[in-house]
Amino acid sequence: MDQNQTQQQDEFLFHPKNLMLFILLFGLSALFLALTAAYIYTRVTMDVPPVEIPILFIFNTLVLLGSSRTMIRAKRCYLNDDTIGYQQNLKYTIWLSLFFMVMQTVAWWWLFQKNVRLDNSATTVQYLYVISFVHLAHVIVGLPFLIFFYNTAKKRMVDPVTVLVYFSDPEKRLKLRLLTIYWHFLDGLWIYLVLFFGINYLI
């Protein structure tokens, strides 16, 4: 690694936007760890049964993993100056995220059909609703940024000159990297939550 690359990485590590993102991710990690710890505490102290997660939650894990893959490919296309691949993979990520939201709604509807509701269910079910909704809320928060990246790429990548300017902009490269990190974090967080509820149901 040459000196310029090392300097660029150092600048990225201490960039204010980078620090803000990691503070956000640290706060989200603490929030979900607190919620899952509260779930265990409530289950033990109140002696209530564990909640069974809908099978759609597991399916949604695959959807989110697919969105992570398309984000990785979008970033790779950006670094390789692949205009069409970059735009397509951003679009795929947006559609997969929307599909995840729809399937989450279907999963909650399935729970209601099974009469698993907040007002007449075990306390642990309330945690399932709250935790999954909070996670979905952060997916919704990230979606406008994805749409903004995609629309900006469509508007500015119209000729070789604007394409060159777009791909050589270090600010856009930084923002894309931060968005990718945020998306991978949400995916990893969802996998943790599914495993957490699944293991708690088995023990």
pLDDT band at 109 (very low <50, low <70, confident <90, very high): confident
Higher pLDDT residue, 59 or 4? Answer: 59
Average of per-residue pLDDT across 153-173:
78
At residue 194's C-alpha, the angle toward residues 29 and 105, to 5°, is 100
Q: How far is CA 2 from CA 6, 9, 12, 68, 101, in A?
A: 6, 11, 16, 30, 43
Of 36, 54, 52, the C-alpha closest to 108 is 54
Residue 116 clears pLDDT 80, i.e. is over it: no
In percent, how much of the chain has pLDDT > 70? Answer: 88
Give phi and psi for 173, each to the nearest 5.
-65, -40
pLDDT band at 120 (very low <50, low <70, confident <90, very high): low
Of 90, 64, 65, the C-alpha closest to 75 is 90
Residue with tokens 């991710």: 25
Residue 35 has what pLDDT?
Answer: 93
157, 163 contact by CB (below 8 A): yes
pLDDT band at 67 (very low <50, low <70, confident <90, very high): very high
CATH class of domain segment(s) 15-40+56-202 = mainly alpha
Determine the distance from the C-alpha atom of residue 133 to the mean position of all C-alpha atoms in its chain, rounded to a whole number.
13
Q: What pLDDT, in 10s, does the model give residues 36-62?
A: 999 999 888 888 888 888 889 999 999
